[in-house]
Structure formats: C-alpha cells, structure tokens
Amino acid sequence: MMTLDTLNAKFGLPGHISFKEKTAGFVVAEVTNAAGTASIAIQGAQVIRWAPTKEKPVIWLSTAAKFAPGKSVRGGVPICWPWFGAHATDSTFPGHGYARTVYWEPVATKALSDTQTQLVFRLVESDTTRKQWPHTTPVECHITVGVSLEVELVTRNADKIPVTITEALHTYFEVEDVRQVKVLGLENTDYLDKVEGGKRKQQAGAITIASEVDRVYLDTTAECIIDDVAGKRRIHITKQNSQSTVVWNPWIDKATKMGDLGENGYLKMLCVESGNAADNTVTIQPGSEHRLSVSYRVSR
Ligand code: BG6
C-alpha cells in the first residue's frame, strides 16, 4: 500500500485531488472541482460522498458508518464483485464478493476540465482473493466526478477459459424521506422478491417504500428516476451493460439489527443498484472485457 506522500506525489492534482487519512489506515481521495465535490475511499474504490455544487449530497453515507481496513462501509457506492449476494457454493466467502473490502490502487488521475475529474483504480489481488476467485480477471474502476457522477467497472478476462461473474454498483442515494419517494422506470418489470424467499413477481406502477424492500429486477436496462418528493429533486440513474436493477431498503427492524445505519438512517436512504445479478450473469470470453457503467445526475 502506497504512503500518503507517495499517493499525493503520484496521483494528487492541485485544485482537484488530494489524498487524506480519514481514520488510521483508511485513505480517501478528496475531489473538488467547479461542478462539485466527492470523497473516494481507496479501499474498495468506494465513492463515499458526492455533492454537485449547491446541492445536498446525492450519495448517502451513514452517520454511523465505520471506516476500518477490511470492513465494508455503510453507504456510498460499494462495488459488489465478482459475485453479487451470497457466493453460489461457499457460504464462508463474503456476501457481495470481496471487492468492496480490499485495497485498490490508483493507476491514473486526470483533470478533464474545470468541471470534470477522473480517477482510475485497480483492485489489488492477494492470497485471500485468489483463494476465493481462481481466475485471472484484472478489474478497474473508472470514476468521473462532475455535474454527473460516472462510475465504470471494467472486468478483463486474462484467463484461458470463459469466466462468469455477477456484480453491482450498490449505490446508496440520499433522500429527504423515503416514505414519500417514488422510483420510476421499473413499471411492468419482473423481479425476485428477496423479502418473500425470492418469489418472482411483476412490478405494478411506480415503486414506493413502506416496509422492507429487497428486490432484484431482471432483464431491465431502463433508466430509473428516484423522485424524492419531500426533497424536491429527482435523481436520474442511467446504466450500460447492466441487465438487473436491485432496489433495497432494510426498514426499521433490519436497520436496527445491522447497527451501522444510524438513527433513522433507513428513512434517509434508498439503494438502487445497477448490475447483473441472479439469472443475469455475465460470461466474459478469454481476451475480452466487460464494462458495467452508470451515470447519476440531479434535476428539479
Ligand atoms: C442488497 C441485498 O443488495 O444488499 C440485500 O439485496 C442486502 O439482501 C443488502 O441485505 C446489504 O448487504 P450488506 O452485505 O452490505 O449488508
């Protein structure tokens, strides 16, 4: 792992990027430009904050989030990779894969303009990751901070055989009051309802949240809009090379058990995750790559 001095010397950009220690051993890239600000933890290449200029944060971070090496942070944009949810065969492997809890190293940073800053991270493999994933699939995350936030996860298959993954950008969005939110874009779409043991259902109308919601919407490439009625703003979510959208809010009982959602945190957040999950697996041929990407922006 690079020291702070090395990170700043190699990848800091005056007026755009500086690396700081948030808590002992937990390093964050602080990004500033004329369009907004963001914080990105190098653990997990996890965006933990993004606020366009004159806007409240769009990305939610729990007030009770813990920042500790090797632990997943509650909030932001955790990367679920190379599997989403429980591992298919080994329950001792971490849920949602290991990408979100391991160190990623910056490989490039660039000020694209006064209003756009780009950072590229690469997951650093270790004996632990290799034990859980016996494939050679270098993965990079390209993050562009501007009027919109763009995140692209690039998986390359450098193996000799096809490799199948599931994945998601497990984004927590900040809302004023989740009870008044409407999620648009998934009308008439089939989903697996994890609250009812994975039962297959079809969405009727806009999604509203009045109890625990944990759904994997399948075979959908649709743009979603979080209409944050109480917050008087809309968050637009567009995606590419993603066939699934996961919508999750733990509601009060699960949030209390989880312990890191913060007081009434479940009312202030909603996860709308773009990815490829459940039946929507992705098989990457040897020598090929797969790019999952999202773009988030706000309108009023
Ligand atoms: C969602 C899953 O994507 O992530 C939920 O559908 C899960 O089932 C949630 O509870 C949070 O997962 P974790 O591992 O970050 O607590």
Among 77, 96, 101, 212, which is best to mutate for testing ligand 1, by the most ligand atoms less than 8 A from CB? 96
CATH at residue 211: 2.70.98.10
Does residue 194's CB lie within 6 angstroms of at least one atom of ligand 1? yes
Tell me whether residue 273 is one of the annotated catalytic residues. Answer: yes
* pLDDT score of 168: 99
* pLDDT score of 256: 97
| Nearest atom (ligand 1) to Cα of 250 | 10
Does residue 259's CB lie within 6 angstroms of at least one atom of ligand 1? no
Calculate mean pLDDT across residues 212-237.
Answer: 98
- Give residues with Cβ within 8 angstroms of 231, minimum separation 6: 56, 175, 176, 177
The H or E element spanning position 258 is: helix 251-258
pTM, full prediction: 0.98
pLDDT digits (tens, 9 = 90+) for 13-64: 999 999 999 999 999 999 999 999 999 999 999 999 999 999 999 999 999 9
pLDDT digits (tens, 9 = 90+) for 66-92: 999 999 999 999 999 999 999 999 999
Calculate mean pLDDT across residues 215-239.
Answer: 98
pLDDT > 90 fraction of the chain, expressed in percent and rounded: 100
Calculate mean pLDDT across residues 282-290.
Answer: 98
pLDDT digits (tens, 9 = 90+) for 242-266: 999 999 999 999 999 999 999 999 9
* pLDDT score of 247: 99
Tokens of 86: 């429980």
pLDDT digits (tens, 9 = 90+) for 124-182: 999 999 999 999 999 999 999 999 999 999 999 999 999 999 999 999 999 999 999 99
Calculate mean pLDDT across residues 6-12.
Answer: 98
| Nearest atom (ligand 1) to Cα of 85 | 2
Domain count, the chain: 1
Tell me whether residue 16 is one of the annotated catalytic residues. Answer: no
Strands (E), 115-189: 116-123, 139-145, 149-156, 163-165, 167-169, 172-174, 181-184
Does residue 67's CB lie within 6 angstroms of at least one atom of ligand 1? no
| Nearest atom (ligand 1) to Cα of 72 | 15
* pLDDT score of 1: 85
Domain that holds residue 156: 4-299
